[in-house]
Amino acid sequence: MLNYNLAVPDVDDAGVLSALVAEGHELDVLVRAVDDWSIPTAAPGWTVAHQIAHLAWADANALSALRTPDAFGAELGRAEAGGSGYADEAAAAGAAKPRSVLLDGCVGL
């Protein structure tokens, strides 16, 4: 597993949580306003659906790290083995899912 030996500062958990909830609500408003998720984004080869799928994937991994650290460790191992294309492959797989599934997959949406 990756270990960057970074110091983790003390944080205000309630403040971080409330900021994440607010950010999720802002994102929800933005993405629900876009009807065509097949339009390209600034990320080469990625559509709006790819971006939302990536966020849902990241949210799922964050929850996995908290709830099932061993499963999260296995996912990190797959990511390390997959190299730089791993995120693209995960985003493409997610982008193929229906919009409603992607929206439900993002914690903040």
Residue 30's SS3 state is helix
- 24-50 tens-digit pLDDT: 889 888 888 889 999 999 999 999 999
* 32-39 long-range contacts, CB within 8 A, separation 24+: 32/103, 32/109, 37/95, 37/99, 37/102
Q: Examine residue 55 and state whether it is found in any structural domain, yes or no.
A: yes
Q: Examine residue 89 and state whether it is found in any structural domain, yes or no.
A: yes
Domain boundaries, position 96: 38-105
* pLDDT for the residue 89: 93
The contacts of residue 81 (CB under 8 Å, 6+ apart) are none
* pLDDT for the residue 22: 87
Q: Examine residue 77 and state whether it is found in any structural domain, yes or no.
A: yes
* pLDDT for the residue 65: 87
Q: Examine residue 44 and state whether it is found in any structural domain, yes or no.
A: yes
Q: Examine residue 33 and state whether it is found in any structural domain, yes or no.
A: no
Q: Examine residue 9 and state whether it is found in any structural domain, yes or no.
A: no
Mean pLDDT in each 10-residue stretch from start to end of the chain (109 residues)? 67 78 86 91 94 88 87 91 90 92 69
Which pTM does this prediction carry? 0.75
Q: Examine residue 7 and state whether it is found in any structural domain, yes or no.
A: no
Q: Examine residue 60 and state whether it is found in any structural domain, yes or no.
A: yes
Number of domains in the chain: 1
